[in-house]
Structure 1
Amino acid sequence: MVQQEAAVASGGDGGAPTKLDAQVLKIAGVIVLGAIMSILDVTVVSVALPTFIQEFHTTYAKVAWTMTGYTLALATVIPLSGWAADRFGTKRLYMLALFLFTVGSGLCATADSINQLIGYRVLQGLGGGMLMPLGMTIMTRAAGPQRIGRLMAVLGIPMLLGPIGGPILGGWLIDAASWHWIFLINLPIGAIALVYAAFALPKDNTEPSESFDFLGMLMLSPGLASFLFGVSSLPEAKTITATKVWLPMLIGAVLVIGFIFYSFKPKHPLLDLRLFRNRRLTVATLSLFVFIIAFMGAGLLFPSYFLQVRGESTLHAGLLMAPQGIGAMLTMPIAGMLADKIPVGRTVPFAMALIAIGFFTFTQVGADTSYVLLCGSLFVMGLGMGGTMMPIMTSALKTLTHHEVARGSTLVNILQQIGGSIGGAVMSVVLTSQQDKADIIPGSTNPQTGHPFTIAEVAQASHLPQLHDQILQTFGADLVHKGQVFLADSFAATYWVGFILVLATFIPIAFLPRKREVSHLSDNAEAGAPAPVVMH
């Protein structure tokens, strides 16, 4: 009895440490540095799209492929990371991913055409796609199941800094220097991260090589890339009936479904779907998937409201988004500690309720809604975010054995990537369809399209410095304001879709574990492997 009490006091599992020691924090520092680069880069580039249109004399549909190409590269390489981590070792592979990402960043800065930039972004994505799943694998193995919650709170830092810092940093670099610097800034960070990784990450101790699932790769990677290509083409095509939307989505879906049936046959499939026999992993990943679709999709439109409706600069729009990150930074460390002590089924619903409350404000948004109200709502949503994403990921990975961690983190990352792409596409299509309802102004001509102006286009053009005075003189302040009201209404209607999806997230969350976990070694755990935690 005394021994049991001592065990609980020291960590709850035979004296396993519950605090993050210096060695684990040193490893976490490497992973956070790499994750910051990859996540920050996505949001920084999204801010630069208007600049790319002007610099390369092209269209929005074309420059959007600088984002889509990166996403497709992520989807292609993520399924390989689990097998490659077991085969080559996490340290070697992580350093290779850092190298590819850094080299890709340098090449992006040298691009002198939009096609070159898209190609270099694909190279960047091949490295960036491995950084997150490998980082989660390295950190989970280093910490063990008793400290995953605290460690996931650390990994959550770059996930917060990306949406906050990306628009601010991107806007400042483009205004103060040039678009090239949004990529050049990764070179010194990447070099530091490579040197840091060489010294901080533990030496690879690779396990016996498993046979590579070539057939699985030929189905899964092209299947995911094809499906996401179709999804990413949806905002431009504006309808799912367009051939370039439904055909790649259909081909991708057939390949992915074929892989699902096939994956239970080989001993070592490319993606181990047998892990879904673990009920808690299944519930947690499903909760995370629905949450990502709901929140990340609509979250991309928060800064767009400030830019399109309120006419804020990129830098100011980024600063207005900061309360969300501040709120999350307050709750994330607390949620990480609680996730190691209290079942996530008892805490996550309250955090999701905060997100829903804050999100509802945006369904009522207008052309002149108070910034105090909007920033306050973003802060409340941030409080909820800090208590939602990382605890769910902790619940997903906590039951895995040492050998399953790489495959499990790969599963989680693939679902995150697919969910984010679907959410972003759905919200973009809804917003576009709403804005397409704008009235045409007879007798006017939009120089960019050659067609008559709509009131939505008039409102958007009034924010451009080179067109501001001309638009006001030609159409008048009343018509410009009418266009801003229309744009605000289109955003509000889109946020309603996001709000309904947020409410839908409560369904899978209701099945998250609510009983206290008991940790022990599973029958197939390897000697010395971290003890998984299972439900009884």
Structure 2
Amino acid sequence: MSGTAQVQEPTKLDPALIRVVIAVLVGGLAVVFDTTIVAVALHTLATDLHTSVATIQWVSTGYLLALGVTIPIAGWAQRRIGIKRLWLIALVIFGLGSVLCTFAWNAPSLIGFRVFQGIGGGIMLPLMTTLVMQAAGGAGLGRIMSVVSLPTVLGPVLGPVAGGLILDHWHWSWLFWVNVPFCAVGVVLAAVMLPKDGPVTRPKLDVVGVVLVSPGLVGVLYGLSRSSQAGGFGRADVLVPLIGGLVLILAFVGWSLRRKAALINVRLLDHWPLASSSLLLFLSGIALYGAMLLLPLYYQQLRGMSALGAGLMLIPQGLGTFVSRNIAGRLSDTMGARWLAVIGFGVVVVGTLPFAFAGGTTNEVVLLVTLFVRGLGLGAVTIPLMALAFRGLERADIPDASIISRIASQVGGAFGTAVLAVILQHALLGAHSVAAAATAFQVSFWWSVGFAAVAASLSLVLPGRPRQ
């Protein structure tokens, strides 16, 4: 690891790097869109599989927990069997899990197949970044991240639209069939385009680390996922796994600091670009996913739209993100992440603030423009933060940095969703009129604005302009 590594921006991307990006994007599209596509189908699944919404919720929760188990071991597995082989194995697991989901005959079978699918997805998420960052060799990180992060940025926005369209016209099994072509083509492209694996080191598995960090991450994610139920964070089934998970994670940090070959090298957090970007990625997860809970509910519960209609209303946010991501990628390679993040979070505040005043009859055109502005801010924030995490790192450190930044973003998203769900739930108590419900949503959006404002302030601690 070197904190003084220079940043060199190429005039054009290397053809070998372009091949890696194409192979990773095609395979990764299915994983990133899968979670948000399925999220809009829970009521349909509960009806068709003759079960309760509380039970079918495990279709999403089980997948999330499987990610929590497998993300921490991706770095060790890469060193053990090679990154290309691991990517192919994970992609096949995810594709097979998708096929199995289409044949699910009841809720337990679908939940089990989703857990199997999540094992592949949990390995692929950090590998997507690792593959591209190692191929880039530390050059033009912002530009590269603006391309490879496209599914991650647009997934939460376009996923509900795709899910709504499928449910309106086809059987729910097509939610999973759409993954199969991406996986099949992704396997072929990866086999042809990814560079061959070099010699592997075959390190021993840090069993103690696995026992600590994987259950710890699962406990945190499970506790946060349960907090949206009645009782919020005061429930025993929220507090016990949440506190237990945090204790296990802290124990893993202590264990890792005393070992040279820990499952995840947490000493990398001494590297300020990675540490600061992870903190802000946590907060950006709150700003993105927390508001993504509120926005569809606002359109459905307050304005009476269908799931598809609510998803369509969010398209301008995705367009804004699409527009700003390339600009943000280029600027982050020259001016650094600090001021881009400050400005980006500031734009997110501006793009969220009108919803803190919106009611059930607020002009839709105004809200659509507002969402486009919000999308511009999200793109300006996400790309430089993701690129900053790898500035100045040696090639061997990239897998662990990918895992650390991925966990920060994943937990931030879960935390933001949980907190804003609890805030909205409490605000809606006793709201028996449209005006009272509108006030409840306004209170919740004020909290979302506050999270983004705090993130804008903390962005000032990010490193400045990289050396060219």
Question: Are 2:432 and 1:503 aligned?
Answer: no
Shift of 1:106: 0.9
| Residue in structure 1 matching 2:22, options 29, 44, 55 | 29
Amino acid at match of 2:437: L
Percent pairwise identity: 36
| Residue in structure 2 matching 1:222, options 215, 218, 222 | 215
CA distance in 2, matches of 1:75, 1:161: 22
State the Cα deviation string for residues 37-75 of structure 1 (Å, max 9, x = none): 112111111110110121123322222221111111111
Shift of 1:240: 2.2
Question: Are 2:79 and 1:69 aligned?
Answer: no
State the Cα deviation string for residues 435-493 of structure 1 (Å, max 9, x = none): 2223xxxxxxxxxxxxxxxx4xxxxxxxxxxxxxxxxxxxxxxxxxx3x3333222211
1:492 paired residue number: 442
- 1:195-206 to structure 2, matched below 5 A, reads 195-206=188-199
Secondary structure at 2:438's aligned position in 1? helix
Shift of 1:264: 0.9
Shift of 1:348: 2.0
Question: Are 2:463 and 1:513 aligned?
Answer: yes
Question: Are 2:287 and 1:294 aligned?
Answer: yes
| Residue in structure 1 matching 2:322, options 316, 319, 329 | 329
Is the Cα–Cα contact under 8 Å of residues 156 and 332 in structure 1 kept in the other structure?
no
2:311 paired residue number: 318
Is the Cα–Cα contact under 8 Å of residues 352 and 374 in structure 2 kept in the other structure?
yes
Is the Cα–Cα contact under 8 Å of residues 104 and 121 in structure 1 kept in the other structure?
yes
1:474 paired residue number: none
CA distance in 1, matches of 2:283, 2:312: 28
Shift of 1:128: 0.8
Shift of 1:168: 1.7
Shift of 1:211: 2.2
Question: Are 2:96 and 1:103 aligned?
Answer: yes
Question: Are 2:176 and 1:186 aligned?
Answer: no
Amino acid at match of 2:116: L
Question: Are 2:80 and 1:87 aligned?
Answer: yes
| Residue in structure 2 matching 1:435, options 424, 428, 443 | 428
CA distance in 2, matches of 1:239, 1:423: 13
2:262 paired residue number: 269
State the Cα deviation string for residues 321-351 of structure 1 (Å, max 9, x = none): 0111111111111111111222211322112
CA distance in 2, matches of 1:53, 1:490: 28
Is the Cα–Cα contact under 8 Å of residues 158 and 318 in structure 2 kept in the other structure?
no
Is the Cα–Cα contact under 8 Å of residues 66 and 119 in structure 2 kept in the other structure?
yes
Secondary structure at 1:413's aligned position in 2? helix
Amino acid at match of 1:206: P
Amino acid at match of 2:439: D
Question: Are 2:252 and 1:259 aligned?
Answer: yes
**Cα 1:155–1:300 shift into 2, 3 Å:** farther
Shift of 1:219: 0.7
Whichever of the two has the greater Rg, that structure is 1
CA distance in 1, matches of 2:465, 2:24: 31
CA distance in 1, matches of 2:180, 2:273: 40
Amino acid at match of 1:307: Q
Is the Cα–Cα contact under 8 Å of residues 88 and 206 in structure 1 kept in the other structure?
no
Secondary structure at 1:488's aligned position in 2? helix
Shift of 1:135: 0.9
Question: Are 2:154 and 1:161 aligned?
Answer: yes
Question: Are 2:245 and 1:245 aligned?
Answer: no
Tell me, which stretches of 5 or more residues in structure 2 are unaligned?
Answer: 1-5
Q: Which has the higher contact order (CA 8 A, sep 6+)?
A: 2
Question: Are 2:340 and 1:390 aligned?
Answer: no
Tell me, which stretches of 5 or more residues in structure 1 are unaligned?
Answer: 1-10, 439-454, 456-481, 519-536
CA distance in 2, matches of 1:164, 1:288: 18
Amino acid at match of 1:499: V
Secondary structure at 2:19's aligned position in 1? helix
- TM-score (ref. length: structure 2): 0.95
Is the Cα–Cα contact under 8 Å of residues 237 and 245 in structure 1 kept in the other structure?
no
State the Cα deviation string for residues 475-518 of structure 1 (Å, max 9, x = none): xxxxxxx3x33332222111111111111102321111224425
- TM-score (ref. length: structure 1): 0.84
Question: Are 2:48 and 1:48 aligned?
Answer: no
Amino acid at match of 1:494: S
- 1:110-149 to structure 2, matched below 5 A, reads 110-149=103-142
Relative to its length, the structure with more helix (as a share) is 2
State the Cα deviation string for residues 290-310 of structure 1 (Å, max 9, x = none): 221233212222122112221
State the Cα deviation string for residues 113-170 of structure 1 (Å, max 9, x = none): 1121111111111111111210100000111212211110001211233123212211
CA distance in 1, matches of 2:350, 2:206: 46
**Cα 1:377–1:203 shift into 2, 3 Å:** same
